[in-house]
Structure formats: structure tokens, C-alpha cells
Structure 1
Amino acid sequence: MTEPSSGTQALDRAVQLASMVVQADEPLSFAELQEASGLAKSTTSRMLTALERGGLLERDESGGYVAGRLFWLYAARHDPWEELVRIARPVMERVGSDTQESVHLSVMRGDKVVQVAQVDSRYLLGTRDWTQVDVPTHTSALGKVFYAWGLLDLPRDGLERLTPRTLTTPPELQRDGATARRRGYAVTVDELEVGLTGIAAPVRGAHDAVVAALGISGPTSRLDHRVEELGRNLVTRAAEVTAVLHGSPHHLKKEGVA
């Protein structure tokens, strides 16, 4: 006798197969999918055929399974950063609650660092919409993440010095980047303007590549004695965004973030 849940079970199995293919770093063969899923060969074949027919999966020249045309159609019709912002927003709210400071999310567009989302500070001092401000990359913690983790090449020549503490030369930025990678987050103190501190950590996507920077900013008087604490918090929260991007949000649900 067929169990009432058999239809849902079949759907769950099909979703499992599609998820494995979409998250894989390279095309997966029928044998790999059948072994990883633990399904019978006939069941695997039937479900993969249905997923192909529906445009969720397709096969490349070698016969391996890859994401189908529906995924690429969706990606072509939507700004990919909109999805990143949607995924990151709950974690950004959590960072805002943790720190009470302004929270920022930045990405690379070409060779330019662009802030795509912000959660405002709970304090009156420090509230400003930075998404509309063109901040020199070398003066922000968000920008320094992309220097430190190799998404931006270090400049060959000196850069503009906005304050006495601004790092402007390639050797300075190289040393600063090595420090950022060692501790897991980048910091600017009084480098964009005197009295402003920023801290940011990398968010990783597919293949463990850095795809964004999650950061906070606020008055140096409030942050200078908390840099290490806030940096560790950002590393943890950035890892939570990374986990969702990798399709593994289960541990977030325990904390009420997802």
C-alpha cells in the first residue's frame, strides 16, 4: 500500500538531486548522483529525466548534469546582488542588534567596490546613508577586504591621503592586508576621516571565493576599544551568510537567524 506521503517524498528526492547538481563545483555524472543520493538506478533515472524535461537540469557535452536553463533565465532577469542582499539582510540585522552600529554590505562591480545594503546605527551619532557615498577603496574597511583577499590589485602608485592616518602606498597596504588575512577582518581607524572607524570581514561564495564584504562603521570614540571583539563578531556573522550561500543554513536556524 502506497503511503500518503509518497508524493512529497518523491518531490524531496527530486529537490535533493537538483540541489546536488546546482551546488557542485563541476558537472556530476549519473553514477555520482545515484551513489550520493542512495536512490535506486531506476528512480534516479526517472527523476533526472523529469528535472531535465522541466528545465531545472541539463547535460553538458560529456553527459554530466549541470544547472538547467531555468536557473540561468532567472539569473539573467534579476540583479544577482539583489539575491545576495536578501540572503544577507537577516544577518545584517543581527549584526546591528549586536553592535548598535551602522552595518554595510559591499560587492565588486568591475574594478569598483559598491555598497549594496545598509542597516542604520541605533545611535544618532553615526547614522548616515553610505550607499550613496563614493568612498575611496583604500580608506574603507570594506574596500580593504577586497585588497587583502586579492580581488583588487594593489595600486602601483601612491594614493590620496585624506587624513594623517590614511595608508597610501603599496607596501603599507600590503602589510595591512597580511594583517587582515591573519586575523580574519580588515580595519580602518581615522583613515577616511578623523573620528571614523570601520571593520569588515569577507563573505565567501562558490569555490570559497570572496564575493562580498560585511562591515560596520561608527565613531572611533565608541569603537576603538572594541575592535577585536567586533571583528570576531563580524567573522562569525560573515560565515553565517557564507553558509546560506552554500545552501547549508541548518545551524543558523538554531540561532534564529535563518
Structure 2
Amino acid sequence: MTTPTAGTGTQSIDRAADLVARVVRAESPVTFTELAGASGLARSTTSRLLAALERADLLARDDHGRWSAGALFDHYATRRSDDGHLVETADSTMRSLGDLTGETVNLGVARRGTVVQVAQVDSAYFLGSRDWVGTDVAAHCSALGKVLFAHGALPVPSGRLDALTPQSVTTGAALEAQLPSIRQDGFATTVDELEPGLTGVAAPVRHHGAVVAALGISGPTSRLAEDLRSTGALVAAHARALSARLDHHPQEGAA
């Protein structure tokens, strides 16, 4: 790994990122001397950056002063484990919803200020939705995202929003104005907002009352847009069933 050579404005960030990468990729905890020598940084600079990274929980020291990945990485790993439990529990519900509708079924969670889809059941139709798993979606244009906004799992953005299509919501205020009806109806819809010709319907998934995910279907507007309310009621019923499964099948080791 070479020492970062970025310009003045980003040099400290690049140097700190280099230190984090060296520690995380190491097979065992790394000493201060090893880090300073491998990075080519002055000892004073290395000390200052390591202290900042420790305060941010990106790195941590053991009893011998050696450096390893910090608590933030543990938190991230725990959340991934939570996703695995959620996906496993949701599988039968998602397949049931897919069998009834024939459409693509998606499960989305809030991550990094947007919605990330963690599981999908493909459409039974030749003309269906693409594979969205692992993709960060523009939450304000997604039915899954609107559900998460409506129930506080995602913070509502302010100011201008990207217009992905002519139908996209373009301001935080306009998005916020939709949220009360989403809460009242029990589901959210998008028609041609994320992609032209794509409609989505989603409902909240809860664990002990808190919204932890959104369950939804997506497919061509030509098939879905005419009967959104009955489709929304069907998706919401499956989301409630999944919520009940989560409450009765807690993750092993969870409180």
C-alpha cells in the first residue's frame, strides 16, 4: 500500500483512511511503531490521526497499546447480522406475496440515509422488475423509502431533491406532505417516480412496534397502477404478518 499523496485539502482525510485500512487489513493488532513506519508519516502526525480515529470509534487500542478495528466496525457487523435474521424470517412471507401478485417482491432497510434492498423474490412475469438487492435506491422516489420516511426510520431531507423522472418528488417539503397519508393508509405508492413505467407499493415491517424495514412489490405501471388501494392493502397485510413473525421469532441472543 502506497502512502497517500493527495492535495492539501484532503491530505489529512487520506492519511487517516490509510491508517484505518492498514489496521483493518492486518491479521493481528498493529503497534504504533509499525503504523508510523509503514505509512511513512511522522510519529507526531501518526499519533494525532490515531487519536482522532479512536475518538470516532474507527480504531481502538488493546491493553498493550496495539491498534485494531474500533467499535463502529463491530456495530456495522451486528447490523449485517440483523439483516440476515430479517431476510431469513421474511422469506416465506415474501414468497407468498410473490405468488399472489406475480410481481417482484422487495425488502428494504434504512442504511446511510437511504434505503438499501436486502432481499428480493423475482417476478413471475417475463416483463418484471430488475434485481435491486444491495442497491442504494433514491429513497424519496421509492415506495420502500417513503414508508421509512413516514415512520421515522429515515430522516426527511430538506431542500431540493434529485428528479429521476418528471414524476419524482423534488423537494423535502413536498415529500413530507405525503407522509401523513402514508401513515393513515398503512402503505406507500410510487408511480413512474423512480423509473418511467415502474410502480411500487410498500408497507412498514415492525419489530416490537418500531419500523425496521419496508416490504413492497414493484412492476410495470401498466399492471399495477389501476388498483393501487387493493394492492396496498394486500402488501400491508403481508407486512403485518412478517411483523408478527419477527416478534415471535427473536434473533438468537437478542434481548
TM-score (norm. length: structure 2): 0.65
Deviations 1:5-40 (A, max 9, x none): xxxxxxxxxxxxxxxxxxxxxxxxxxxxxxxxxxxx
| 2:103 corresponds to | 101
C-alpha distance in 1, partners of 2:80/2:139? 26
Is 103-112 or 83-92 further displaced after alignment?
103-112
Are the counterparts in 1 of residues 107 and 118 from structure 2 also a CA contact under 8 Å?
yes
Which one of the candidate residues 147, 159, 162 is aligned to 1:160?
162
* Unmatched 5+ stretches in structure 2: 1-76, 251-255
Q: Which whole-Å CA distance do the structure 2 matches of 1:132 and 1:79 have between them? A: 15
- Which amino acid is the alignment partner of residue 199 of structure 1? V
**Aligned residue number for residue 44 of structure 2:** none
3-state SS of paired residue (1:115): strand
Residue 91 of structure 2 is aligned with which of 89, 92, 98?
Answer: 89
- Structure 1, residues 121-159: CA drift from partner, whole Å, max 9, x if none? 000111411114332111110111111111222111110
Are residue 179 (structure 1) and residue 170 (structure 2) matched?
Answer: no
Q: Could you say which residue in structure 2 is the equivalent of 1:140?
A: 142
Work out which of the residue numbers 195, 203, 222 in structure 2 matches 1:201.
Answer: 203
Which residue in the other structure is 1:223 paired with? 224
Give yes or no for contact 2:158–2:173 (8 Å, CA) kept in 1. no
Q: Kindly state the Cα deviation for residue 165 of structure 1 after the two structures are TM-superposed.
A: 0.9
**One-letter amino acid of the counterpart of residue 187, structure 1:** T
* Matched AA of 1:188: T
Counterpart Cα distance in 2 of 1:153 and 1:94:
31
1:126 corresponds to: 128
CA 1:160 to 1:76, structure 2 compared with 1: closer, same or farther past 3 Å? closer
**Aligned-partner Cα distance in 2 for 1:89–1:111:** 25
Aligned letter for 2:239?
A: A
Structure 1 gap segments, 5+ residues each: 1-74, 250-258
Distance 1:112 1:155 in 2: 10
- Structure-1 separation of matches of 2:233 and 2:167: 23
User: Aligned equivalents of 2:196 and 2:80: distance in 1?
Assistant: 39
Change (3 A) 1:91 1:170: same
What is the rounded CA distance, in whole Å, between the counterparts of 1:86 and 1:180 in structure 2? Answer: 27
Query: Quick one: distance in 1 between partners of 2:112 and 2:98?
Result: 29
- One-letter amino acid of the structure 2 residue matched with residue 228 of structure 1: R
Q: Map residues 23-34 of structure 1 onto 2, 5 A cutoff.
A: none
- Secondary structure at 1:191's aligned position in 2? coil
Letter in 1 for 2:236: V
Which deviates more from structure 2 when the two are superposed, residues 95-104 or residues 106-115?
Answer: 106-115
Distance 1:78 1:125 in 2: 31
- Name the counterpart of 1:243: 244
For residues 195 and 78 of structure 1, do their structure 2 counterparts lie closer, same or farther at Cα, with a shift above 3 Å needed? Answer: closer
What is the deviation of 1:245? Answer: 1.1
Asked if 1 retains the 8 angstrom alpha-carbon contact of 2:165 and 2:193, the reply is: yes
RMSD: 1.9
Q: What stretches of structure 1 move > 6 A for 4+ residues in a row?
A: none
Matched pairs, number: 174
Equivalent in the alignment of 2:16: none
Conservation of the 8 A alpha-carbon contact between 2:116 and 2:134: no
> Which digits, 9 at most, give the CA deviation of each residue in 1:223-254, with x for residues without a partner?
011211110001100011111111189xxxxx
